[in-house]
Amino acid sequence: MTKKGFDAEIHKRILLRVLLDIFKKFPGKMGFKGGTCAYLFYNLPRISVDLDFDVLAPFTAAEIDELKIVLGKYGTIKNFHDKRYTTFFLLNYKTDSPNVKIELNKRVWKNNTYVPIWLLGVEIKIADEETLFTNKLVALTDRKLPVARDLFDSYYFFKAGYKVRDNLLQERTGRNTEEYLIFLKKYIRSNFNKKIVLQGLGEILEEKQKEWVRKNLVDETIKEIAGYLKNGARHI
C-alpha cells in the first residue's frame, strides 16, 4: 500500500537505481519479473512499488550479505529473511514513502523465459510478455485471497494482445489453457465485484482510472477471456 501524498516519480527513480545496482553487482543471476517489471518496461498503467526476481543461479551466503550492502545504500533494511524458497528484504528509503519489498524467488518454473535488455549500460534480464502474462493469470487464483491488482494487470495484458504460454500454464496449474480460462471466468465472477475491486488498487491508480475500474473492470476482463477462448489463441 502506498502512503498518501508520496511522490511516484521519486519512487520510480529509486526503484530504477536499486535495480541497476543489483544487476551491476550480480549480472546474470536473476530475472526481473512482476508488477514493477511490467510498470517499468511494459507500460503497465499503474504504480508498482516492489521488486520481484527469480533466482537463476544460486546465491551464496556471502552474496546475500553483499546484496544487503547494496540495498543499505538506499535506506534501512527493516526486515529480512532467507527461507527455502524465498529471500526477502523490506527497505525503507524515506520516512513518508512506501517501503520497498525486494523478493528473490528460488522456485523458478522451467517454462519461464527471460530476455536481456540494456538500461544505462547495464544488462538486465526481464520476464518476457508471455511469462509475465501467464504467471499473472495464475496469481489471480493462486493467492490465499483474491488481489485486485492481479485482475487489473491481467486485463491490461489481454488488451495489449499478450499470449498465454500453454506449457507454462500447464506446468503451474495442471490444466490446459482452455480449461484454466473457463475456470478463471467463474472464479473472477465469484470473487470480484464493484464493492471490492478497488481494495488495494485504488492507492496505486490515478483518480481518472478508479471510476472506470469500479464500474467496468470485472465485466471487461471476463469479456477479454471469452474473446481469447473464442479466437482459440494458442502459443507454446
Q: Are residues 21 and 122 in the same domain?
A: yes
Please count the structural domains in the chain.
Answer: 2
The Cα–Cα gap between 27 and 117 comes to 12
Q: What is the pLDDT of residue 4?
A: 53
Specify if 103 maps to a domain: yes
Residue ending a domain, among 127, 158, 183, is: 127
Q: What is the pTM of this model?
A: 0.91
Specify if 76 maps to a domain: yes
Specify if 157 maps to a domain: yes
The Cα–Cα gap between 234 and 236 comes to 7
Specify if 1 maps to a domain: no
Q: Are residues 147 and 47 in the same domain?
A: no
Specify if 236 maps to a domain: no
214: which residues sit within 8 A by CB, 6+ positions away? 194, 197, 198
Q: Are residues 13 and 99 in the same domain?
A: yes
Q: What is the pLDDT of residue 235?
A: 43
The Cα–Cα gap between 132 and 32 comes to 10
Q: Are residues 140 and 91 in the same domain?
A: no
Hunting for cell 523490506 — which residue is that? Answer: 90
Q: What is the pLDDT of residue 49?
A: 86
Q: Are residues 170 and 220 in the same domain?
A: yes
Q: Are residues 82 and 190 in the same domain?
A: no
Q: What is the pLDDT of residue 163?
A: 97
Q: Are residues 119 and 136 in the same domain?
A: no
Specify if 74 maps to a domain: yes
What is the residue type of 214? R
Residue ending a domain, among 75, 94, 127, is: 127
Specify if 2 maps to a domain: no
Q: Are residues 109 and 15 in the same domain?
A: yes
Q: Are residues 117 and 165 in the same domain?
A: no
Q: What is the DSSP letter of 184?
A: H
What CATH number has the domain bearing residue 113? 3.10.450.620
Residue ending a domain, among 86, 104, 127, is: 127
Q: Are residues 21 and 119 in the same domain?
A: yes
Cβ count within 10 A of residue 227: 11
Specify if 89 maps to a domain: yes
Q: Are residues 122 and 19 in the same domain?
A: yes
**Domain containing residue 75:** 8-127
Q: What is the pLDDT of residue 206?
A: 82
Q: What is the DSSP letter of 101?
A: E
Q: What is the pLDDT of residue 1?
A: 43
Q: Are residues 164 and 223 in the same domain?
A: yes
Per-residue pLDDT of the chain (236 residues; tens, 9 = 90+): 444 556 888 889 999 999 999 999 999 999 999 999 999 999 999 988 899 999 999 999 999 999 999 999 999 999 999 999 999 999 999 877 889 999 999 999 999 999 999 999 999 999 999 999 999 999 999 999 999 999 999 999 999 999 999 999 999 999 999 999 999 999 999 999 988 888 888 777 888 889 899 999 999 999 999 999 998 754 43
